[in-house]
Structure 1
Amino acid sequence: MSKTRSSDASVEQRRREILDHVIEAGEVRIDDLAARFRVSLMTMHRDLDDLAERRLLRKLRGKVEAYPALTMETASRFTLHQGEREALAGAAIRQVEPGQTVFVDDSTTLFPLVERLSGVEGLTVVTNSLQAARLLGEGVEIVVAGGRYHPEYDSCSGPDVLALLERTRADIAFVSVSAVAVGRLFHPVRDYAELKKAVLRFANRNVLVIDHAKFGRTATYAHGTVADYDLLITSDATPTEEIEAALNAGTAVEMVEHVEEGQPYDS
């Protein structure tokens, strides 16, 4: 393992430990964190900025706090498989053409894709995610679908979001999901399940982007099947039966190479 790769892995490990400590404590002073982890205040701010950008905690004046709904289990789902998600984003961005209207939902799996959208000329991006809107750079027209705000997701849902979607037409929509089981898609929150279902009606092409860890799981609310989508982008670590279910349903499948945790992905 190269020095750079090892260094990247150790930084990510420290950030996970910082996150675990903040979740356990609820609220921690930033200078106390720097002392606890034996790093400079500047390094600690860099770590916290990274975690805040991933919606894992909130930075306040001189302190940091975890989102009330965030547990260690859910936090691990945000931080794991980042290399794989970068690979998925590299495949997804090739589906986008200059001048298109693109929808992206609030799934953290899509954030690496969102960061790449700024490199495509003349895009209009529609999203219900405030974090996605922040990640987009200059040159992109941003339409935020506002509605009932959920701070734990930093995004909006509900009838106001659905009403905006009904008045909009996207060339392509990118959606990720919380769980997939034999082709059926699930989300733990009803409003978000309804939103993902509604997106299908307002986009010319619908693309699912899912890391391998989401397969073989269920959640409370079903919101359709893989067959509803034109393309599934996932990794070669996804169970074979799930790939076969998608292909048998008539959905095209593109697989990227699975990237082990801690290994950077070169797009």
Structure 2
Amino acid sequence: MTRSELFAQIQQKSSFLCVGLDPDLEKIPRHLLAEPDPIFSFCKAIIEETADFAVAYKPNIAFFEALGAKGWETLARVEELIPDDIFTIADAKRGDIGNTSKLYAKAFFETMDFDSITVAPYMGKDSVSPFLEFENKWVILLALTSNAGSSDFQLIQDESGQPLYKSVLAKSQEWGSPENLMYVVGATRGELIGEVRKSAPEHFFLVPGVGAQGGSLSEVAKYGMNSTCGLLVNSSRGIIYASGEKDFAKVARREAEKLQVEMKSLLEQYL
């Protein structure tokens, strides 16, 4: 998917919502366990009820690969379910030496046809570049994350006082462009999103942490939105686990719609 196609979806749906698919057998509604493939049935119901409001879906690969070969089969089936005009993110956080990254890219971009993949930048250019060689595919690079241990490395300053995440932003923009490179920026960082936006004014950000992790959607928009929105705000648990009963998909739809309504207002305010 191209940048212009993604922005067109945002405009059409008045939404920049990404729904995270984190299907945990311990958390999905109990009645689904009687299904031949409970994870597939869960994801299918969520997608069918939220596709009106979502411009992206982000399967967390760990929840699938933990199930072995069957999990990979389920992941492929789930990816095929997602409408073609909705952006797909393989949340795999890959990043290895060049020939290995090339095969990771082939797996997710060719074999399963995801639009994008999350990538860890620690090993540098040769671990990221293979993912950037595929036309109309995206790297979503970890920049400033919202987990508790993120400050262990990301905020370490060099001799000039520049934190490591800003060095990652500066260097990685030599490898890719706003047409194929996004960044993960945690919603719980508040005004730090604004600092990332200064360093990457044109790039899209994938922003986790809204909802269950306490991030503020209005703060994300205030500090992070640019002229083409530039945001994909992810909500996982706050949508997919809003109910553990048989009405789980309908309740997920209501939660997705609530976010879309707020996003529409923010788009009207800032664009």
TM-score, reference length from structure 1: 0.33
Task: Name the one with the larger strand percent.
Answer: 1
TM-score, reference length from structure 2: 0.33
Higher relative contact order (CA 8 A, sep 6+): 2
